[in-house]
Structure 1
Amino acid sequence: MVELDPNPRPIDALSALGAPDDIALEDRAGALTYAELEAAVGALALWLRSDGLEPGARVATWLPKTRLACLMPLAAARAGLVHVPVNPVLKRAQVAHILADSGASLLLTQPARSMTLESGDLPDHCRIAGDDEAGLEGEGLPPSDADPQALAAILYTSGSTGRPKGVMLSHANMWLGAISVAHYLRITPADRVLGVLPLSFDYGQNQLFSTWAGGGRVIPLDYLTARDVIKAAERHDITTVAGVPPLWVQLLDAEWPELVARRLRRLTNSGGALTTPMVRGLRAKFPNANLYPMYGLTEAFRSTYLDPSLVDANPDSMGRAIPFAEIMVVRPDGTRADPGEPGELVHAGPLVAQGYWQDPERTAQRFKPAPSFSEYGGMAVFSGDTVTEGADGLLRFVGRDDEMIKSAGNRISPTEVEEAVLAGGEAREAAAFGVKDERLGQAIVVVAVARGEAAVAEAALRERLRRELPSFMQPARYEWRESLPRNANGKFDRSGLKAELTS
């Protein structure tokens, strides 16, 4: 198991943690050993440095999961630059905003992508380089001696309302996140991790970092369907899959060869809470896999995880703090909430990011001095999420403050409504919202995907919920869709759906 050394190092040191002859990366270009990974990172860093970029310059990548995309987080850091990964599913207007906001000096992308950009999309000082220009072989830079607190990356959130925020991550943020996750997931050199999440997503980027911290092998995958994931898991003898709830819905509905399903040893979830039916389904379909429900914030990377030994008895829990994180449940007056009392989740410790890039106003709204009872002290992230902590120390998600439904004087968690809707199997996916109602203040509307015919599903659902939920929690209306929209990171686009319902 990876040792929990609290002393951070430059993030590019990850490329040398595995045994030299072990495989670090396996992709369409073949296999790359740890020794070859280290050499390629050095060569790419030298190529970046030779481009004349000043230390601290921002370098953006707009790429699928190519070898170059996988190496850039380490190579840019080694060259003293700041990496800005752009999700490959974003379109030109979104890419243009990120380039302008970050002040990128270089965009590494594919010719077909660069051709979609229009005049004015690139900042005046930014040039485009094709992915075939970057050098991955030959002479290279040695491991860096960067200050672990120095800025190493800017990750842009993918919210559908308002302009995306660039979260500033230091070497220490990313290094300690990698060590923490590799430790509690018990990553070993025998592990083969299927990298299905976007590398621009903190959870997706950590697929690389935590695997390399544990000496394992990453197999990056750009997939279109659940069947692509299953085929890759079979072809590469995958032991570990990281996902978000919408992906698990697809994988649970798909047919898995029994041997492939039984070979999986580890499933990790973040980017949204697992419902109890999903937990039960994953435990049944993948009987030999440890399931790790997790909760994370881009502003602090990851906050909690639930130990697999506790999952069956506590399928609704998000667990306890991960190593290097201090998690507190805080009342509006700044004092500690009692066990079972709802409060805001506040995260302190060395995983807390450095704020939002060139946005002091929004930084001040989210990043504040830690509560007086904090052990770490310093700056903390105030999540805006309401949780409870039980007498057993396990945390449970209640809802986001800005998503709580206020109906007939009651505060209702949309998560609780969604879990009730999904519990009977009438719907495959569901999202609950409060919409303006003259009589109630807000009425509950559920947007859902039916199993079978929508009218039949709704009739059965209404009948069941009349028995199982109090009257004030009954949905007033259902809207049935073929699928629920996702954002660029594969999570449900709750903001987009809410804007659509309330417009």
Structure 2
Amino acid sequence: MPFPLLEPQLPNLPNPDPKPLDHLAEIGADDSPALVLRNRTLSFKDLRDRVARLSGWLTDRVPQQGARVATWAAKNELTCLMPLAAARAGLVHVPINPLLKHMQAKHILADSGAVMLLGTKARLASLEVGDLPPGCEAIDENDVLQALDEVAEPMAASTADPDALCAILYTSGSTGRPKGVMLSHANLWLGAVSVAHYLGMEADDVTLGVLPLSFDYGQNQLLSSWYAGASVVPLDYLFPRDVARACAKYGVTTLAAVPPLWVQLTELEWPAEASAPLRRLTNSGGALTEELVSDLRGIFPQARLFPMYGLTEAFRSTYLDPELVESHPTSMGRGIPFAEIMVIDDEGNVADPGEEGELVHCGPLVAQGYWQDAERTAERFKPSPDGSEYGGIAVWSGDRVKRDADGLLYFIGRRDAMIKSAGNRISPQEIEDAARATDLVAEAVALGVKDERLGHAIHLVVRAAHDAEDAEAQLPKALAKELPNFMQPHVIHWKDSMPLNPNGKLDRTALAQEIVGETGA
């Protein structure tokens, strides 16, 4: 049945039954561009053909419905087609961030039970003995693409249950290794519908896809654009100026980024041919500062700026109407279509205006929980609060917010110890585990310290192992081999002893206060 829109009400937004995700390929006009690659452009007619062929190839190689198939590659034809093709084939897509290294890929492959890994030659070559789980086949992406023209039976559009599992996106928690968020066809379909409409996307729009496709924010660049019949230009950039050049080359109208990239982009000289076509800018992964908002409006005066807040467990929760950015620059805005956002106080009641509480997200965008992790699922996915219009299971975010008398939400803080650096959500424990695994340190605590450019700078506090030689010089080199660049500590603090709390555990709060005192952050 159709889902109620709740707030905000957009008059032109259809109230659809969700469809199988692969139906996104069926929307655009045949001759309209859908995917602009380095060496060629796929029209929507081409997109339909390539999705059908890749689905047929996948079905032939992996006939088991519901099996997990992973990709570990840069943005290209294969990684852009896979969300739709795997869905059509009845498989579950597991995209792995191409910035991750073999140890992180090993965990995701094992945890998901992936039976196939499609990746670039270099990434597959980086795998070590034992990294692939039993029964998992690794295939070079180029071999897959070359085989598509030989597919005997391309698959027609699917009739899958929209509530069926469609993808697992891995996201770090405040403790432990990354956990897999289970997303259905309906989750992803309605997310695409919602974003395309509140952004006001049209068929002549061009989206520059700079964010990783392993992130819900990055993947939605594809899905919402294709729902609108618009085109996407996937881009893996080395330098911020590459983004500006691509905007000029392709006439980009929609650009999504995280705050650290926006800071870098505002430091560039933007020629008119790069800035003028932009119609909308979107931000998530951290709050925009008032200074950054001012800089963006100065460079892109014609573009509408959409600050947004989201969490992988419910995709996207809120956005701030561009008309309110100047008057309410620190607001998170209101719930997006198909999202019911409640503020619940510590007694479990709906908080009054101006009263702090926990942000609780209800509705059909809520994911199905964490893959094979009932304990952590039960901690975050709980029954909706009394008074919810949607009911069912909600995501209790752990983030503290308040709502003003006009219904606008404001972020107060987060309960957990998650480090959010350069738009990446990073588990402190992953960094700590890597540090201890070097045998150079006996104890390690990773903390996020407020930083203007990064959101959080990563500070690693360690005590050297008693038998370690030249630990201070060797630890950065060892971590560089085992952790991706975005997880590398910005500062390493060496201690002779670590403070303990009354329970005998390492006192993270005391360490954080000490570091803040030292840095003045």
Alignment partners' CA distance in 1, 2:341 and 2:491: 26
Alignment partners' CA distance in 2, 1:228 and 1:4: 37
Alignment partners' CA distance in 2, 1:282 and 1:490: 25
Greater shift, 253-262 or 313-322, is seen at 253-262
109, 112, 126: which is aligned to 1:99? Answer: 109
41, 46, 65: which is aligned to 1:55? Answer: 65
Matched residue type, 1:76: A
Alignment partners' CA distance in 1, 2:174 and 2:142: 32
Matched residue type, 2:74: P
TM score, norm. by length of structure 2: 0.79
Check 1:213–1:315 CA distance in 2 against 1; reply closer, same or farther (3 A cut): same
Check 1:150–1:180 CA distance in 2 against 1; reply closer, same or farther (3 A cut): same
SS for the counterpart of 1:219 is strand
The alpha carbon displacement at 1:136 in A equals: 3.6
Matched residue type, 1:66: N
The alpha carbon displacement at 1:336 in A equals: 0.4
SS for the counterpart of 2:127 is coil
Alignment partners' CA distance in 1, 2:330 and 2:451: 22
The alpha carbon displacement at 1:317 in A equals: 0.8
Percent of aligned pairs sharing the same letter: 58
Aligned pairs (5 A) from 1:55-134: 55-134=65-144
Aligned pairs (5 A) from 1:459-470: none
Whether the 8 Å CA contact 1:2–1:187 is kept in 2: the answer is no
Whether the 8 Å CA contact 1:191–1:240 is kept in 2: the answer is yes
Whether the 8 Å CA contact 1:42–1:142 is kept in 2: the answer is yes
The alpha carbon displacement at 1:489 in A equals: 11
Check 1:493–1:354 CA distance in 2 against 1; reply closer, same or farther (3 A cut): farther
The alpha carbon displacement at 1:310 in A equals: 1.1
SS for the counterpart of 1:108 is strand
Alignment partners' CA distance in 1, 2:107 and 2:125: 17
291, 302, 313: which is aligned to 1:288? Answer: 302
In structure 1, list runs of 5 or more residues that go unmatched: 405-413, 416-443, 451-484
Alignment partners' CA distance in 1, 2:284 and 2:491: 18
Match of 2:239 in 1: 225
SS for the counterpart of 1:56 is coil
Query: How many residues are aligned here?
Result: 434
TM score, norm. by length of structure 1: 0.81
The alpha carbon displacement at 1:280 in A equals: 1.4
Is it true that 1:6 corresponds to 2:16 in the alignment? yes
Is it true that 1:393 corresponds to 2:407 in the alignment? yes
Q: Deviations over 1:156-214 (max 9, x none)?
A: 00457520010000000000000000011111111000000000000000000000000
Whether the 8 Å CA contact 2:249–2:274 is kept in 1: the answer is no
200, 213, 218: which is aligned to 1:204? Answer: 218
Match of 1:330 in 2: 344
Check 1:264–1:345 CA distance in 2 against 1; reply closer, same or farther (3 A cut): same
Q: Deviations over 1:63-108 (max 9, x none)?
A: 1001000000000010000000000000000000000000000000
Greater shift, 303-312 or 257-266, is seen at 257-266
SS for the counterpart of 2:114 is coil
Alignment partners' CA distance in 1, 2:489 and 2:327: 30
Alignment partners' CA distance in 2, 1:496 and 1:18: 51
Is it true that 1:345 corresponds to 2:359 in the alignment? yes
Runs of 4 or more, structure 1, over 6 Å off, are 487-500
179, 190, 206: which is aligned to 2:193? Answer: 179
41, 62, 66: which is aligned to 1:31? Answer: 41
The alpha carbon displacement at 1:263 in A equals: 2.1
The alpha carbon displacement at 1:122 in A equals: 0.5
Match of 2:283 in 1: 269
The alpha carbon displacement at 1:29 in A equals: 2.8
Q: Deviations over 1:348-403 (max 9, x none)?
A: 00000000000000000000000011110000000011111111111111110236
Q: Deviations over 1:137-165 (max 9, x none)?
A: 35410000000000000000045752001
Check 1:42–1:170 CA distance in 2 against 1; reply closer, same or farther (3 A cut): same
The alpha carbon displacement at 1:53 in A equals: 3.3
Check 1:495–1:76 CA distance in 2 against 1; reply closer, same or farther (3 A cut): farther
Matched residue type, 1:332: D
Matched residue type, 2:339: A
Alignment partners' CA distance in 2, 1:398 and 1:330: 13
Check 1:212–1:488 CA distance in 2 against 1; reply closer, same or farther (3 A cut): farther
Matched residue type, 2:322: P
Match of 1:188 in 2: 202
